[in-house]
Every structure is written in C-alpha cells, then in structure tokens.
Amino acid sequence: MTDLKDDEPSILESCITAQPSTDFHSPVLSADDVGSDKQSTRGVTSFRCNISEFPNRNTATNDSQGPFNCVHQTKIPQEIMAVDSAILAINAGSSSVKFSLFSRDGKNLLVSADVKGLTSSLTTLNYTAFFTEDGSTIEEIEGQEVEVKDHEDAFKVFVGHLTSDDREDKKVLESGDKIEVTCHRIVHGGASPEPLVINDETYKRLDDLSDLAPLHNHPALLIVKACMKVLPKSKNVAYFDSSFHTTIPEHIFTYPVDPSLAKEKKIRKYGFHGLSYSFITKTVAKHLGKKVDDVNIVALHLGSGASACCIKGGKSLDTSMGLTPLEGLPGGTRSGTIDPSVPFHLLSNSSDMSSKAAKELHLSKAEQMLNKESGWKALCGTTDFGEVTKKAFADQPDEMCKIAFDLFVDRIIGYIGSYYVKLGGKVDALVFAGGIGEKGEKLRAAVGKYVECLGFQIDESKNGKAKGKETVEAISAEGGEGEGKKVLVVKTDEQGECARQLVENPPKFD
C-alpha cells in the first residue's frame, strides 16, 4: 500500500459511514429552503479518501482496508478551509442521484451526498461534508425530506445546499465556480469505449441514445443540461457504464436477428453497471492480492436496477443486461428478461406511443410497461426490495412478496451457474454489490444455499454482520469443499471510479 505523507495518520481503516442517532428528525426541505434555518445538521466520525493512490496497488490487504486509503477521524476542526478547485462526480440512477465532491487532485473526499426515493412517495437528502485537513466531519444531514419532482430538481437541491451563503462555517467551496470538472455517470454510450467531453454536439449524440436507457440516460442528461446552466465554468465529462463491456466477444454480444438490420440499427448487447464492475474488479484484485488481469469473478450489482457480470482476467466476458438495461434480472420497475411476446398478449396496442412517458423519450406502451410498471412495483406495489423481503419473511408472509423474493433468487442463481461454466469453474470470488447486494442478508443467504454445490459456502455469522459499510467484507466460510472460493460483499463506488479515471487519464479539453 502506498505510504501516507508524514503528517497523515498511519492507521488505515475502511470507509464506514457513521450511523445517525435514533432521535434525529428533519423537517421537509425544498429547493427554496436550502441553507435556511429549517435545515438540521450534526457532527459525527468520518473519513478521508485518497483516490489518487488507488491505481496499481495489487497487494493483499485486510478486510477492514478499503481501496481509497480511507482514514477514520474524530477531530473537530478549529477553522474550515475551502478548497480552490474540485471535481464533482454525479451518479443518476433510476430512483436516486448520488453526488461525490473531491479536491481537484483527487486526494480528498469533500462531500458525499445523495437524494433518494425519486420513484417513491418520500424523497430524502443525505449530505456529509468533510474537513480537508484532517477528514473530520463538519456537517451531516441524514434522511431530510425534500420536495423534488425529478433528477434535475435533486441536482439543484444539492448544489443549492453546497453553495449556500447561509452556511459560511460549513462550506467546503467558496462557490460553484470552484468545481472545475463535473463527471457524469451515463449509462448508455453505445459502443464508445472512452469518456466523452460534453459539448453541444456530443450532448445531442448522447440524447439520441436515451431511448435505449430511458430510466437513466434521459435523467442524467437533464442533470448535464442543468449543470451547464448552474455551473457554467465547470467542464462536463461523460463516463459510460457500457464502456467496461466492450471486451465482450462478438458471438456473445450478437443477437440472432437480421445482421444487416442489426448493423444499421446498432442492435447488439452493450451491458451496463460498468463503472461499478470496474471498481469491483480492482477492489477484489487488491483484496485477493492478485493482479487485475489474473482475476476471475462472478459479480452481482443488485439494486433497483440489477445485473450480473462474468469477469475473466479482469475483463467483461458476459453480462446480463443487453441492448438496454431491461434485459436480464428484474428490478424495482423493470421486468427483466421475459418472453418477447408477453407485451403483445398484455397490450392490444403495445406499439402505440405511451402518454405517460415524457414526450422526448418516445416510449411505446410496451416499453413503458416493461421499464416503469413492472418488477417489484407490479408484483408487490413497492419498488423497495427491503420492504419486499420484510413482508416475505413476516410471521404471516405476503404471498406476492414471497414469490417476488424467490423469483429474484431464481434469476440470480441462473446467471451464477451460467457464468461459472463460462469460467470453467475457475472462479476466485462470488461478489455481492449494489444496495440490495450490500444490505440484503436474507437474499445472500438464499442464493448461498443454491451455490454451495459450486463450492461457495457462506458463513451465517459473517453474513449477518455484513451490512455494506466496509469496502470489502468476506462472508465465505473457512475450510470445507469451498475453500479458496471467496464470497464477498463490496461497497461499490461509481462516483469514485469516475473521479479515479479522470485523475488517471484526464481527457483533452478544447
């Protein structure tokens, strides 16, 4: 591991988000309230992360060590020093937006925040700001209700709070003009393997791909447009989820349809969650003490959007998502893979344009139904898989929630089995990541029972303690037939991966 500077602490620990006190309560916060006295804050233990020291470190580490040289701190700073230049990384998901603000050299995490629940009745803001000198927390908001209607509103609430003049004693930036580069996680980049500097011309190219990822590209581009207005001095760079999967062989990414039409329409498997899988691959390699090129894993990114990835020699060999994120595993509002004729049986006018979707998305009624009205929402009436799990294991189980839980397990183990065979049984680790993967103890246990035959054995006690708070948590049982095959829980970091790539390989700006 890279040595720390002389004035830095020598004990390296993982990045663990402090837990809120049980009596904490927040009023509803709207964009107009940001920075006002309606806002509640408190101080807690925190950490500092050094993303610039992450690359090319392939030595083994303890489970408690994260890949970003994260250092716990409890000191209270005497004076807050705002930084002169920063990197903002934005991750627009289907139901949330995550924000990470780094110092421009990538050595310090300044702010970690998110707005969650964009598809539910309750939308909340979580916001933690760190003092750059010693990493101690200078402000934390946990679960504050906010009034937002879409991803663009979520961005404005975050920036409004970050730059509010009413918080001089807690500001890590003097103004939004200090954000030099904004990294945007964009789900669909087509076959483009490289990050893309966003201008008027490239923005249109990205917008043309929105039909292929309607839950992600369109919201992300709304944030890009808002960023250009709200942060006019910041340069915008797109980092694509599909880029990691450009190594998938042709016979795997090809669909058995008319080749000439497929070429014309660019119809093929692209794959997504690539930034997460890139982070997972490097993190697992470091944890196992292997070079990235020597790592074979089956990785599961399980959240409102869920996918599986077969990674051979540190590169994507196959993944469950396809032309769009709709293929593969079901999710909060997505059906996942089903018989293609199902929409025609459910909807007599399935090809008609949907009146529910935004006009610029051009979604058919079938696409609207499968992307936004299916999954756990259709089966259980909620997009929250934690709620589905709770009801499935209640004293009087909810029948549909139990079906949804078992269905998800069944689809997951199908991909694990397929990818295990594709890797010839030479699998270093089975990895759970994403919100459900990190926190879903019961789901991991249920999957584990099925994959014991492949040599993966989960320790019940370790599984119960793993809550996705550390960067890597090993939950595999020691000894037995599965010895050597690890089961890991990885706290993935797509924003951190964007920032790392920016620091390692800065794009050429005009």
Residue 90 covered by a domain:
yes
Say yes or no: 236 and 267 in one domain.
no
Name the nearest CA neighbour of 110 among 154, 23, 46. 46
> Known binding site for ATP: residues?
98, 301-305
- Quick check: helix, strand or coil at residue 2? coil
Domain hosting residue 383, numbered range: 263-271+285-336+374-494
- Alpha-carbon dihedral 117, 118, 121, 127, rounded to 10 degrees: 50
Report d(CA 252, CA 270) in Å as an integer: 10
Residue positions forming the annotated binding site: 91, 98, 185, 301-305, 494
The catalytic residue among 241, 384, 398, 493 is: 241
Distance between CA 168 and CA 80 in Å, rounded? 9
Binding-site residue set for substrate: 185
On whether residue 114 sits in a domain, the answer given is yes
Q: Is 456 within a domain?
A: yes
Number of domains into which the chain is organized: 2
Q: Are residues 129 and 174 in the same domain?
A: yes
Task: Determine, yes or no, domain membership for 409.
Answer: yes
If asked whether residues 267 and 210 sit together in one domain, one would say: no
Distance CA 41, CA 83 (A): 21
Burial of 45: CB neighbours in 10 Å, binned 0-12, 13-18, 19+: middle
pLDDT less than 70: residues of the chain: 1-82, 132-133, 167-168, 214-215, 349-363, 479-483
- CATH code for the domain of 308: 3.30.420.40
Quote the tokens at residue 35.
Answer: 């920075």
Residue 78 lies in a domain: yes
121 falls within a domain? yes
In the β-sheet with 124-130, what is the strand arrangement from edge to edge? 29-30, 137-147, 124-130, 109-116, 96-103, 86-92, 179-186, 235-240, 196-197
Distance of CA 10 to the CA centre of its chain: 30
pTM of the model: 0.81
Neighbours of 315 (CB within 10 A): 17
Burial of 261 from C-beta contacts in 10 A (0-12 / 13-18 / 19+): exposed
Distance between CA atoms of residues 34 and 38, nearest Å: 8
The tokens describing 248, both together, are: 């998938």
Q: Is residue 103 located within the same domain as residue 228?
A: yes
Say whether both 267 and 236 belong to one domain: no
Domain co-membership, 439 together with 484: yes
Distance CA 5, CA 14 (A): 18
Instruction: Please report the pLDDT score of residue 509 as a whole number.
Output: 85
Residues 88 and 197 in one domain: yes
Same domain, residue pair 331 and 230: no
Question: What residues contact 358, with CB distance under 8 A and at least 6 apart?
Answer: 218
Examine residue 361 and state whether it is found in any structural domain, yes or no. Answer: no
Note if 241 is an active site residue: yes
pLDDT for position 57: 30
Q: What is the pLDDT of residue 107?
A: 79
Q: Is residue 278 part of a domain?
A: no
Tens-place pLDDT, residues 57-101:
333 333 333 333 333 333 333 444 567 899 999 998 777 899 999
Whether the Cβ atoms of residue 317 and residue 252 lie closer than 8 Å to each other: yes
472 near 63, Cβ under 8 Å? yes
Amino acid 347: pLDDT:
83
- Pair (31, 75) in one structural domain: yes
